Amino acid sequence: MNAAGPSGPRILLRRLREVMAGPGDAQARMDQLVTVIAANMVAEVCSIYLLRDGVLELFATEGLKRSAVHQTVLRVGEGLVGQIAQLAKPMALSEARSHPNFAARPETGEEDYHSLMGVPVLRGGRVVGVLVVQNKTNRDYLSDEIEAMQTIAMVLAEMVGGALQEEVPGVGTIGSDGLPMRLAGLALNDGLARGVAVLHEPRIVVEQHVADDVDDEAARLNTAIAELRTQVDGMLQAAIAEPSGESRDILETYRMFAHDKGWMARMHEAVQSGLTAEAAVERVQVENRARMSEIGDAYLRERLHDLEDLSNRLMRHLTNNGGQLSDGDLPDQAVVVAWNMGPAELLDYDVNRIKALVLEEGSPTSHVAIVARALQIPVIGRLDQLLEVVDSGDDLVVDGDNGQLFVRPGADALEAFGANLELRQAKAAQYAALRDQPAVSKDGTRIHLNLNAGLLADLPHLDETGADGIGLYRTELHFMVRATLPTVSMQTEFYSRVLDQAGDRPVVFRTLDVGGDKMLPYLTRYDDEQNPAMGWRAIRLSLDRPVLLRMQIRALLKAAEGRPLAIMFPMIAEVSEFVAARALLDREVERQSRMGEEGPSSLRVGTMLEVPSLAWQLSALLPLVDFISIGSNDLMQFLFASDRGNPRLANRYDELSPSALSIVRDIVQNCAAAAVPVSLCGEAAGRPVDAMALIGLGLRSISMGAASIGPVKMMVKSLDLPALQEFMTNIYESPEHSLRDALTQFAENHDVAI
């Protein structure tokens, strides 16, 4: 709205409202609107496409052929208009025809127009249409102009939801209401659940966008912000009083955002342009979402999700929709449906009633997925159109194992669900019965099954599963859910709680594995890394920033206080790195004794073996370490030069390939010869067939997620180890891509429960 001066936006908004409130039916008013918008945007064409029963239909146009109105239709995803609807993002092109998704519609007579700008029309977070302008010249639309169009689209959405929906049935819908549907997404945490859909953000639909009085709206916004701040402070107070430390850390980030000057300024600016307070919050939220989808950095994306949550809370204050869903409103079997959410939001619910979580966004490394895993809640992410097709109260079946969501399931889906659930429950009962029995194979070999953990919420799984101890404690998760670096005393308190809860069971703490894509906000980032997994991370970062590592070691030594302590370093690639890290640790041990503090009763120091180069320095390494833990996730990613997070490569290389098994066998044999204890803590340890092979090649200790302890223990108890060892004797020389089939066949032939 650059040309019209400071009062320009307000004048336009008023004009639009006059048209919308004016005489005539909805069609007549829309015809008028496109004329007003085209004139204001200095465009030759302005068109409104609205979703009607699932397709985008041209509803009104200034500049294109009138005969195309209600005739031209596009599927969501088809052509540029379809793409704008699908991505729910604005698009501005100075030459639309050269875009690969351009789809010509000759009946509209648009061949004379070159530039195009379109924005989605969103109502309550759903796309209901697309608003487009076109020009004959190759115009470069300015960001101010795109923002102005987004504001106009918000006002248009108000009309679509109101008068138009009454006059034109089916408008604004995707036409699936009430029918069973299956959506496929990405499995983020396995498990099976059925429950009632609870929309995490009950759709807040802004009913009035144009302000009657700008000063009143500014005052309303200020009041709501003050209420929000009080609410966040209250949540923080409650979290401090509560034993689990995670929510407190997360909420500190929230408090920081609730006082963020940039965010406040952007919302106030939107009010000054003539929007109501809630429309201003929505407006800035839409901008944030667009920014979010462009950010590659996982950590920053997570922070923007926190901001999204705060925007929603603010909106609820403005629409008197209460602060949040009260537990009384939450059904006992709830499936939470969200676009995305931060970990604090999940912890805000009574988690005992949450049976599953389904997200339109989400990634395996997102914090909410990590927390949900610790709480054993099945999660599916990346479910396209989730919020379009699911309504509050819908019956949902969540198949977290296969990443499938059944919305309003039909009889066949329910029957399959029932059968699967029974099977799972029967298995769970079998695993529970094994809880107090040690994992001993049929021939009497004791295998140590440990837990991988990283959050306080993981610790109850020690008792629930009967695990022998914690084989890998990923300390970075505690750092990642916080806004600021935890102090030594905060860390001490945290580690001490971990040790308290573990009791007599050993815990192996791994020092910070941050950097790369697990960047902390309070750590300066220097370059854009092309390959973050192979970049400045883990021990590399710790050795370059020794204060961070020393603070952590100081806290660990203090927390142990008369108890045994085991520490290991991540991503050690050569012996000299271990020596340097160990020297830092020794300085802290000396410092502790100089200060007269009580240290650990015993101290074991080891390393992860997850960079292949270290496997060829074992003779120099083994005399220096107390133990080794093989990190097969990274070891295989580097061995095969195959990104562990890339789904296209997920099945290309197998951890049960001859080369993968050979490298692990060689490491294990070298450790055995040097009498150095060795374990493996990658994902492979948690899959029964893989775990069987690892035991067959010599491992006697493995560490895995809580859900795997039962199935792996059952496998061990049914295993005849000498028979497996004999079967595996010459297997390493095989030219096969993978030995998975052969090992599975062995298990079947020998009644091993896999």
The span from the CA of 518 to the CA of 298, in Å, is: 7
Buried b (16+ CB within 10 A) or exposed e, 143-153: eebbbbbbbbb
Which tokens is 354 given? 């949450």
Using the minimum distance from each CB to ligand PEP, give the nearer residue, 33 or 456.
456
Question: Among Mg ion, ligand PEP, none, what binds residue 560 when CB lies within 5 to 8 Å by partner kind?
Answer: none
What letters, b where the CB count within 10 A reaches 16 and e where it falls short, cover 236-262?
A: beebeeeeebbbbbbbbbbeebbeeee
CB of 678 to ligand PEP, least distance (A): 14
Residue 17 sits in the site that holds ligand PEP (CB under 6 A): no
Find the shortest distance in angstroms from Cβ 476 to ligand PEP.
8
Give the other-Cβ count within 10 Å of 730's Cβ.
Answer: 8
Q: Binding to Mg ion by residue 516, rule CB under 5 A?
A: no
Identity of the residue, 559 or 681, whose beta carbon is nearer to ligand PEP in the bound complex: 681
Angle between helices 575-594 and 546-560 (to 10 degrees): 50
Minimum CB distance to ligand PEP smaller for 270 or for 611: 611
Q: How far is the CB of 424 from ligand PEP (least distance, A)?
A: 26
Binding residues for ligand PEP restricted to 502-541, rule: CB under 6 A: 513
Among 458, 588, 610, 654, contact with Mg ion (rule: CB under 5 A): 610
- CA dist 365 and 370 (Å) reads 7
Site string for ligand PEP, 650-689 (x = CB under 6 A): -------------------------------xx-------
Under rule CB under 6 A, residue 705 binds ligand PEP: no
Residue 510: CB minimum distance to Mg ion, A: 9
Number of residues that bind ligand PEP (CB under 6 A): 10
Q: What is the C-alpha separation between 667 and 533, in angstroms, rounded?
A: 23
Q: Does 367 bind ligand PEP (CB under 6 A)?
A: no
Q: Is residue 143 within 8 Å of residue 287, measured between CB atoms?
A: no
Interaction between residue 345 and Mg ion (CB under 5 A): no
- The C-alpha angle 195, 394, 176, rounded to 5 degrees, equals 140
* φ/ψ of residue 486, rounded to 5: -65, 140
Can you give the length of the chain in residues? 754
Cβ neighbours of 437 (radius 10 Å): 10
Please say which residue, 334 or 512, places its beta carbon nearer to ligand PEP. 512
The neighbour count for residue 294, using CB atoms within 10 Å, is 8
φ and ψ of 356, to 5 deg: -165, 165
Question: Is residue 197 within a helix (H) or strand (E), and if so which, with residue range?
Answer: strand 192-199
Could you say which of 634, 654, 655, 690 contacts Mg ion (CB under 5 A)?
Answer: 634
690 is a site residue for ligand PEP (CB under 6 A)? no
Which 467-486 residues touch ligand PEP, going by CB under 6 A? 472, 474
Judged by CB under 5 A, does residue 655 bind Mg ion? no
CB 717 within 8 A of CB 683: no
The distance of closest approach from Cβ of residue 187 to ligand PEP in the complex, given in angstroms and rounded to an integer, is 17
* Listed ranges 109-117, 233-241, 274-282, 632-640: which one lies at the site for ligand PEP (CB under 6 A): 632-640
Residues 659 and 498: their CA atoms lie apart, in Å, by 37
Contacting range for ligand PEP; rule: CB under 6 A; set: 539-547, 629-637, 657-665, 733-741? 629-637
Binders of Mg ion among residues 613 to 632 (CB under 5 A) are 631
| By CB under 6 A, residue 738 contacts ligand PEP | no
* Single-letter amino acid code for the residue at 196: V
Which range in 3-11, 289-297, 626-634, 667-675 contacts ligand PEP by CB under 6 A? 626-634
**Which is nearer to Mg ion, 409 or 686 (by Cβ)?**
686
What is the DSSP code string of 701-747? EEEE-HHHHHHHHHHHHT--HHHHHHHHTTGGG--SS-SHHHHHHHH
Of 161, 516, 631, 686, which lies in the binding site for ligand PEP, with binding defined by CB under 6 A?
Answer: 631
N-to-C CA span, the chain: 65
Would you call 375 helix, strand, or coil by DSSP? Answer: coil
Side-chain-facing half-sphere of 23: CA atoms under 13 Å: 0
Closest CA to 301 of 312, 313, 293: 293
Q: How far is the CB of 637 from ligand PEP (least distance, A)?
A: 8
For ligand PEP, the binding residues in 222-251 under the rule CB under 6 A are none
Residue 338: CB minimum distance to ligand PEP, A: 26
User: Which residues does the annotation mark as catalytic?
Assistant: 367, 681
Minimum gap (Å) between residue 607 Cβ and ligand PEP? 12
Choose from Mg ion, ligand PEP, none: what does 711 bind? Cβ within 5-8 Å by kind: none
- Longest Cα–Cα distance of the chain, Å, equals 91
Residue number, 84 or 681, with CB nearest to ligand PEP? 681
List contacts with Mg ion (CB under 5 A): 610, 631, 634
List contacts with ligand PEP (CB under 6 A): 472, 474, 513, 610, 631-634, 681-682
